[in-house]
C-alpha cells in the first residue's frame, strides 16, 4: 500500500518500464520515456515517449471495501480502507521521423501488453517490495474523446495511446483506537 507519494511512484514505474523497452530501438541516441505534462514544448533530441498523467479517478468497483483492522500484538486500531485510484495516462511519441515514432508506439504497446500486471521488483518507491500489483489496460477512446484531451491541453492532436492503471491504493493518514468490549447487554439484562 502506498503513502501520499504513490501516484508519483506509479508514474516513475511506467517511465522506467518504457525507457528499458525503448533501448533496443538503438540509433545514435536511443529514444527515452519521460514524465511530461505537455504544457511546454517537448525537446525531441533524443526522441521521446512522453508519459502524461491526465486524469485521476476513484475506482468505483473498490468503493465499499471493509475497514482495515490491526493484527495482534499491536494495539487494536481500525482505519478506513485505502482509497482505490485509477490513473489515466496519455503516451505520445516525439522526435525522429514517422517510422521512429511508430516504432516507439509499437514498442510501448508490446511491453505494456506483455507485462500488463506490474508487481514485485518492477514497482518503485513506496510500492517496491509490497504485494500490490498494477493492472495496465489500453483504453479505447473515440476520436472525439481523444480530441477533447488534446483540446484541453491546448495542443494539436497527435498519434497517442491512452492507458489506465488500476488499482492504486492510497493509504489513509488516520487510525482510530478500538476499545475491546468488556460487557454486553442483551434485552436490557446484563450477561453473566
Q: Is the peptide bond before 178 cis (omega within 30 degrees of 0)?
A: no
Q: How confident is the model at residue 25, as a pLDDT? A: 84
In the chain, what's the furthest Cα-to-Cα distance?
84
In a domain, 121, yes or no: yes
In a domain, 156, yes or no: yes
pLDDT per 10-residue tile (average), the chain, 192 residues: 81 93 84 91 90 91 78 75 89 90 94 91 83 90 86 88 89 72 73 60
Give the whole-angstrom CA distance, residue 47 versus residue 26: 11
Give the whole-angstrom CA distance, residue 78 versus residue 84: 18
Give the whole-angstrom CA distance, residue 105 versus residue 40: 21
Cα 83 to its chain centre, rounded Å, is: 13
Give the whole-angstrom CA distance, residue 51 versus residue 143: 19
SS3 120: helix
In a domain, 103, yes or no: yes
Give the whole-angstrom CA distance, residue 25 versus residue 103: 8
Domain count for the chain: 1
In a domain, 1, yes or no: no
Q: How confident is the model at residue 48, as a pLDDT? A: 92
User: Any idea what the CATH number is for the domain that residue 113 is in?
Assistant: 3.30.2000
In a domain, 182, yes or no: yes
| Domain range for 169 | 6-190
Helix (H) or strand (E) holding 123: none
Q: How confident is the model at residue 1, as a pLDDT? A: 53
In a domain, 29, yes or no: yes
Q: How confident is the model at residue 137, as a pLDDT? A: 95
Q: How confident is the model at residue 188, as a pLDDT? A: 66
Q: How confident is the model at residue 96, as a pLDDT? A: 79
In a domain, 180, yes or no: yes
Amino acid at each position: 500500500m502506498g503513502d501520499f507519494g504513490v501516484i508519483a511512484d506509479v508514474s516513475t514505474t511506467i517511465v522506467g518500464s518504457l525507457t528499458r523497452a525503448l533501448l533496443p530501438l538503438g540509433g545514435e541516441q536511443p529514444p527515452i520515456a519521460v514524465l511530461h505534462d505537455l504544457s511546454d514544448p517537448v525537446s525531441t533530441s533524443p526522441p521521446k515517449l512522453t508519459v502524461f498523467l491526465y486524469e485521476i479517478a476513484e475506482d468505483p468497483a473498490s468503493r465499499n471495501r471493509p475497514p482495515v483492522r490491526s493484527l495482534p500484538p499491536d494495539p487494536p486500531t481500525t482505519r478506513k480502507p485505502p482509497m482505490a485510484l485509477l490513473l489515466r495516462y496519455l503516451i505520445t511519441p516525439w522526435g525522429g521521423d514517422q517510422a521512429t515514432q511508430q516504432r516507439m508506439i509499437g514498442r510501448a504497446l508490446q511491453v505494456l501488453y506483455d507485462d500488463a500486471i506490474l508487481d514485485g521488483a518492477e514497482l518503485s518507491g513506496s510500492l517496491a517490495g509490497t504485494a500490490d500489483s498494477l493492472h495496465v489496460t489500453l483504453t479505447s477512446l473515440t476520436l472525439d474523446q481523444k480530441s477533447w484531451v488534446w483540446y484541453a491541453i491546448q495542443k494539436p492532436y497527435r498519434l497517442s495511446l491512452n492507458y489506465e492503471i488500476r488499482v492504486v491504493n492510497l493509504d489513509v493518514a488516520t487510525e482510530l483506537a478500538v476499545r475491546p468490549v468488556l460487557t454486553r447487554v442483551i434485552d436490557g439484562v446484563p450477561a453473566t
